[in-house]
Structure 1
Amino acid sequence: MDKSARRKPKKQKNYLKKRFFIFATLALILVVGSYFSERLCPYDPYEQNLSIAKASPSLAHPFGTDRYGRDMLSRVIVGSKTSIYSTLLLVVGITVIGTIVGIICGWNGKKLDTILMRISDIFLAFPGLVFALAVAAVMGGGVQNAVIALGAISWPKYARIARSQTLAQKESLYMRAAILSGCSTGKLILKHILPNITGPILVTAMLDIGTMMMELAGLSFLGLGAKPPVAEWGSMMSDTRNLLTTHPWVTFAPGIAIFLSVMVFNLLGDTVRDLLDPRNER
């Protein structure tokens, strides 16, 4: 192999690391910025001023104002906390629950595996958003209920991945050696199984952040998520959708925020997937 061929994997790896640093930094800015969103708002996001209702974008109000004269930029900024942290809580929850169920099924097998996998099959048989709509409607809406509704339909994917990876690791030679050495079940799972199945689960979770964010916004848009006057991007789009033809900037502002956030997290997920791809290690 010539020197140029050897340099290619190294250049690819360095490029992926730079890309990861860029998108990880952007994602961190979004997360940290949303946490301090109330301090970053130029105006009170809930203060009404009917004298400037439906004002066009200007230097004073870059995203204009809504029908109650509330500054849209401030509402978009403060709404990031609800939208982003609800999404992260949802993804962490379904990842942990799905991984635990998958490891239990893959490790124990037999009847428990059959029962839990048939339950996951039932959940997977439903269209995700339709099932979440039904659950959220029964529970009465609200951000918390929207998170629970989406979590109820989303965990089986992680359970399937964790189960298949656990079964593969369980039959490996190093696991047999660890069992013969007298390792306890807890130590086998925590020290050997979990670290070796984390990669695929982490990539799936990273790629799921954008999807879950859009689905949470979708539930709020349909009136089954955050309730006004709580600032949340999907709810804000729903509240202003009848102004789309006359004052489009009011609806575009939270829409752009969703677009940019989903794009950043999706690109970060793609980069993590490429970094963990064994072909890029060569």
Structure 2
Amino acid sequence: MNQTAVPTVRVQNVRQNCLQRKLYIFGGLALLLLIAAFFSEQLCPYDPYLQDMTLTKAPPSAEHWLGTDRYGRDMLSRVIAGSKTSIFSTLLLVGFVTLLGSSIGIVCAGAGKKVDTVLMRLSDMFLAFPGLVFALAVAAVLGGGVHNAILALAAISWPKYARLARSQTLALQSAAFMQAARMAGSGTLKRIRKHVIPNIAGPILVTAMLDIGTMMMELAGLSFLGLGAKPPIPEWGSMVSDTRNLLPIQPWVTLAPGFAIFLSVTIFNLLGDAVRDYLDPKNRT
């Protein structure tokens, strides 16, 4: 047996264990964040909508850990309640864009040159505009709101997934197992279900995971500008916007939702990096 093979195997095992540990740690943190958001109503110490004008702009205390806003609402409760809107709206957006863009990309790769040309030129048209500016215009036309903000961001985000799925599918069409499946009489839908989707799912999943943080920031940005969640719905971006003029005198009111955005984006970005490294074939050899 080659003497250098043993150290190489050990290095590979150590690297794989480190990648798994990173994936478990950040996956666990993301799962805790999702659980906390799902049970946010039960975790709130106070009613996030309850106004008490006698406690207006109260500083942090034992009763109100993050103080109160200008309407006397407990900021900790509002931040916790806002996690459900901010996090699950982001996940809904990423899931919708991933399915839509990937489906269009697969259709482009297999439906013929005319359909491919039309859909790819359509994606070029969407990509020609600055992304967030186009999303602002779409959200403004639709009238604002969380659902309209999701649609606006979906309109600018699907071309990336469509191009990725299209390129991956085209690369698979010349593979030997695809030709064998075609010669065996497998129909188009069966080949897509059994061969195309499993083989392109990895890169698309990594892209989606890395997009969660970006989408969360963009949704918060639309809400900050008044084109996302509408008051009194607790949402981190709109909460930062509502309290930004209090930043010089009561910074905790504005920094609380801002820190929640920072923490959530950091966790999901680190999870996306861990998933990418774990699925990278170079780290398995």
TM (norm. structure 1) is 0.99
Q: 1:96 aligns with which of 81, 95, 99?
A: 99
Q: CA deviation at 1:107?
A: 1.5
Q: Which of 9, 25, 45 is the matching residue for 1:6?
A: 9
Could you say what secondary structure the match of 2:266 adopts?
helix
Q: Following the alignment from structure 2 to structure 1, what is the Cα–Cα distance between the partners of residues 42 and 215?
A: 26
Q: Choose from 194, 197, 221 the match for 1:194.
A: 197
Q: 1:165 aligns with which of 141, 153, 168?
A: 168
Q: Find the partner of 1:210 among 209, 213, 234.
A: 213
Q: Which moved more, 1:153-162 or 1:45-54?
A: 45-54
Partners of 2:174 and 2:107 in 1: how far apart?
15
Between the aligned partners of 2:197 and 2:5, the Cα distance in structure 1 is 39
Q: Distance in 1 between matches of 2:237 and 2:30?
A: 20
For structure 1, which segment, 200-209 or 9-18, has the greater mean C-alpha deviation from structure 2 after superposition? Answer: 9-18
Count of matched residue positions in the alignment of Structure 1 and Structure 2? 282
Alpha-carbon offset, residue 2 of structure 1: 4.1
Unaligned runs of 5+ in 1: none
Task: State the one-letter code of the partner of 2:58.
Answer: A
The correspondence for 1:32, drawn from 14, 31, 35, is: 35
Q: 2:53 aligns with which of 41, 50, 75?
A: 50
- 1:138 counterpart (127, 138, 141): 141
Residue of structure 2 equivalent to 1:61: 64
Residue of structure 2 in register with 1:147 after alignment? 150
* Residue in structure 2 matching 1:224, options 215, 224, 227: 227
Task: Point out where structure 2 has 5 or more consecutive residues left out of the alignment.
Answer: none
2:66, 2:202 → 1: CA distance? Answer: 40
1:266 to 2:251 alignment:
no
2:214 is aligned with what amino acid? Answer: T
Counterpart CA distance in 1 for 2:88 and 2:131 is 21
> Residue 131 of structure 2 corresponds to which residue in structure 1?
128
Residue number in structure 1 paired with 2:20: 17
Report the secondary structure of 1:199's partner residue: helix
Shift of 1:169: 0.5
TM-score with structure 2 length normalisation? 0.98
Q: Distance in 2 between the 1:186 and 1:166 partners?
A: 13
Determine helix, strand or coil for the equivalent of 1:70.
coil
Equivalence for 2:181: 178
Partner of 1:250: 253
Regions of 4+ moved over 4 Å: none
Identity %: 66
